Amino acid sequence: MTAQIIDGKAIAQKIKEKIKAEVATLGKKPGLAAIIAGDNPASKIYVGMKRKTCKEAGIYSEEHKLPEQATEKELIELIRKLNNEDKIDAILVQLPLPPQISTEKALNEVAIEKDVDGFSPANVGKLMAGNENMVPCTPKGIIRLLEETGTKIDGKSAVIVGRSNIVGKPTALMLLNRNATVTICHSKTSNLAEHTRKADILIAAAGKPKLITADMIKKGAIVIDVGINKADGEISGDVDYKQAKEKAAAITPVPGGVGPMTIAMLLENTLKLHKERKQK
Ligand code: NAD
């Protein structure tokens, strides 16, 4: 069996075009403010890509850079200022933050009506209770990829490898909300393969290249590779793609799978927040 390659880039492009067309009909542009604190090179690339895509879709964006030594107070003051700026509908705090800043405290400062990543405790609580009004972009992109490929989630066994607050846990909740039977694996899971082999839907989000080999995949599974690993100038996922695509029914490539969907969902969430604020 050779798997269907889930073309996240093409699916994301269609979503972006739809958003662009809708934005063009609006009197005022939706506005996104991205905050980067520190010198993380990956964060700079991600924010650069997000802003470029915003521009293509006609969404206003601005970037706020804070130095590596920035204090928690400085970041919180900036978030509060942006909370009160009318042209800003969406605030994105790029993670990770420098160690002297509490991520929890910072995310808690983002006004719920501007929380584009759904990371504020209020939105996390809502997701937990089954309310998906504003959910994080990567998990939302993963679910959309599954839906776009016609994957039935209800009643399926879904295994997520990774339990982070930004990918693993919210993805698990979204799958649970759709009636999957969900298993969350992590770095302390003993015998990972025993779990992954039972997955009808396997989500790899560990950040470990080739962690998931073909023998760990159930024949005919849907495999979503979230990992972005850089080595020797190459980008690869967490799944041994070449071998896995002979075993899975469908699989996402890296790059060109979940990555572009995350950005498309950011645009979608920004537009949603803009429309909701206009209605108030
Ligand atoms: P993280 O480091 O916060 O979490 C990694 C998780 O994987 C942890 O819960 C850890 O317990 C688990 N893990 C690590 N090693 C493991 C192992 N050997 N076996 C089982 N579990 C293991 O990372 P994150 O922020 O959740 O991101 C995960 C990956 O997804 C990274 O490669 C990241 O770059 C990528 N990512 C991609 C996108 C995208 O848009 N495509 C978005 C966010 C993150």
Domains contained in the chain, CATH given: 28-112 (3.40.50.10860), 136-258 (3.40.50.720)
**CB hemisphere CA count around 252 (13 angstroms):** 35
Residue 49's pLDDT is what?
95
Q: Which band of pLDDT confidence, cut at 50, 70 and 90, is reported for residue 176?
A: very high
Say how many Å lie between the CA of residue 212 and the centre of ligand 1.
13
pLDDT, mean over the chain: 97
Can you list the pairs that 52-55 forms with residues at least 24 positions away whose Cβ atoms lie under 8 Å?
53/16, 53/263, 53/264, 53/266, 53/267, 54/267, 54/270
> pTM of the prediction?
0.97
Residue 136 tokens read as 């994080």
Residue 18's pLDDT is what?
98
The answer, yes or no, to whether any atom of ligand 1 lies below 6 A from the CB of 15, is no
Residue 231's pLDDT is what?
83
pLDDT digits (tens, 9 = 90+) for 106-160: 999 999 999 999 999 999 999 999 999 999 999 999 999 999 999 999 999 999 9
| Mean pLDDT across 249-262 | 97
| Mean pLDDT across 246-257 | 97
Whether the pLDDT of residue 279 is over 90: the answer is no
Cβ distance 71 to 100 under 8 Å? yes
Whether the pLDDT of residue 1 is over 80: the answer is no
Question: What is the C-alpha R_g of the chain?
Answer: 19
The answer, yes or no, to whether any atom of ligand 1 lies below 6 A from the CB of 203, is no
* Ligand 1 atom with the shortest distance to the CA of 163: 9
Catalytic site includes residue 200: no
Residue 214's pLDDT is what?
98
**CB hemisphere CA count around 38 (13 angstroms):** 15
3-class secondary structure, 32? strand
Q: Which band of pLDDT confidence, cut at 50, 70 and 90, is reported for residue 280?
A: confident
Catalytic site includes residue 50: yes
pLDDT digits (tens, 9 = 90+) for 38-60: 999 999 999 999 999 999 999 99
